Amino acid sequence: MSMLLTIAAIVLIVIVIFQIAKASEYVSALKGDSGTFNKQSNKINGSLMIAFLVLGLIGVFWCNHELYPETLFPQGSASVEGENVDKLLYITIALTGVVFFITQILLFVFAYKYQYKENKKIYFFPHNTRLEIIWTSVPTIVLLILIAYGLRSWFIFTGDAPKNSMQIEVTGHQFGWIFRYPGKDGEFGKKYFKDINANNGLGLIWKDSAALNQKADPATFDDITMEGKVYLVKGKPVKFLINSQDVIHDVGLPQFRLKMDAVPGTPTTLWFTPKYTTEEMKQRTGNPNFVYELSCDQLCGRGHYSMRAEVVVLTQPEFDAVMAKQKPAYYLAFPDKDPSNIKPAADSTKPATDSLKTVAIK
């Protein structure tokens, strides 16, 4: 609140100064002495230009010094493929930063140097073919290089994943994420949107249906699903198979420097290799509550703000231990089908045998 009041006070002061200046200008014009006022006004405005330049540059450096630690840059990319994205971003910031400082300094300096003066002739500079070619071709070439470098990185992590990569299906819906791992058979089962219900969020084909002219897919029985959390392995490539059940969503992985749209009816893919476990990132960032975030980077409705999931990166043994505790979605929906819940039938011959042994001993 105090910050808002300070800003409001500064704005009011600027308005008052502007109105006083305009009133002085009107008074000078009525007295027929507008020339003297214009000279003074030009000098004041020219000096203010230099002051704004100096204060503005100080503000830029101050903001960078204060806010840079709050960004994701200090901790570095959490994926091998994301390093190229960081490198491209640094190059872009360096190039645009140089252009920014040069143009802004020239803008304010020229405004001061070439302020209005009496008996000063105007020099018109209507056309120069050489300069026009230079300031058109140089930015074009630089931008083409940046685009080519960016497309090269884009084609890497949207292309074919390594053969040893882990595959996870990511499905977005309003407003959450569902993750599916293939079971022991290493194959994703088929799904059908008309089979989606409260117990079957992905519409996995578990039953025969004459009405839908489909048969149950055995490959679905061992698929594991999770909501709101996905587990990855450090150093092991992972390929996301991305879908959407309703509107366009977007898989945003800020720490990994990657993102990909989730489009209804059009599956997309994305692969990357995690560099650090979650515990290692807690140490790198000095934040004991650190979590990798998977967010929706596409405005998708009223609950868009809540559409996030947690990415947990583990070592291979830790990952194996976690997955060993997970049950396939089919058994969670139908506990009575779970072999671990089915008690073996009682052996009817055992009591009789025991009684015969008792009689023999007596």
Q: What is the pLDDT of residue 362?
A: 38
Point out which residues pair with 268 in neighbouring strands: 242
Round to whole Å and give the CA distance between 131 and 292. Answer: 49
Residue 155 covered by a domain: no
How many domains in the chain? 1
pTM comes to: 0.77
pLDDT value at position 211? Answer: 61
Classify residue 14: in a domain, yes or no.
Answer: no
CA distances from 16 to 20, 34, 41, 47, 329 (A): 6, 21, 16, 19, 68
The alpha carbon of residue 156 and the mean position of all alpha carbons in its chain are separated, in whole angstroms, by 18
Is position 11 within any domain? no
d(CA 238, CA 271): 5
The rounded distance, in Å, linking the Cα atoms of 268 and 259 is 11
Beta bridge partners of 296: 251
pLDDT of residue 31: 61
Token pair belonging to 49: 């230009």
Whole-number pLDDT of residue 193 = 86
**43 domain residue, yes or no:** no
Domain span at 222: 166-338
CATH number for the domain that contains residue 316 = 2.60.40.420
Strand (E) or helix (H) holding 142: helix 129-158
Mean pLDDT by 10 residues, the chain (362 residues): 76 75 62 59 79 89 90 90 92 91 90 78 80 90 91 90 93 95 91 88 85 81 93 96 95 94 94 95 92 94 93 95 93 86 61 43 40
pLDDT at 212: 66
Report CA dihedral (78, 318, 297, 189) to the nearest 10 degrees: 130
Report yes or no: 25 and 37 within 8 Å, Cβ to Cβ.
Answer: yes
Q: For residue 75, what pLDDT is reported? A: 87
Q: Which two tokens stand for residue 310?
A: 């947690």
Residue 259 lies in a domain: yes
Evaluate whether 270 touches 160 at the Cβ level (below 8 Å): no
Do the domain assignments include residue 252? yes
Residues 127-157, buried b or exposed e (16+ Cβ, 10 A)? eeeeeeeeeeeeeeeeeeeeeeeeeebeeeb
Model pLDDT, residue 357: 42
Burial of 183-217, coded b for 16+ CB within 10 Å and e otherwise, reads: beeeebbebeeebeeeebbbbbbbeeeeeeeeebb
Peptide bond preceding 61 in cis form (omega within 30 of 0): no
Query: Residue 227: inside a domain, yes or no?
Result: yes
In-domain check, residue 331 = yes
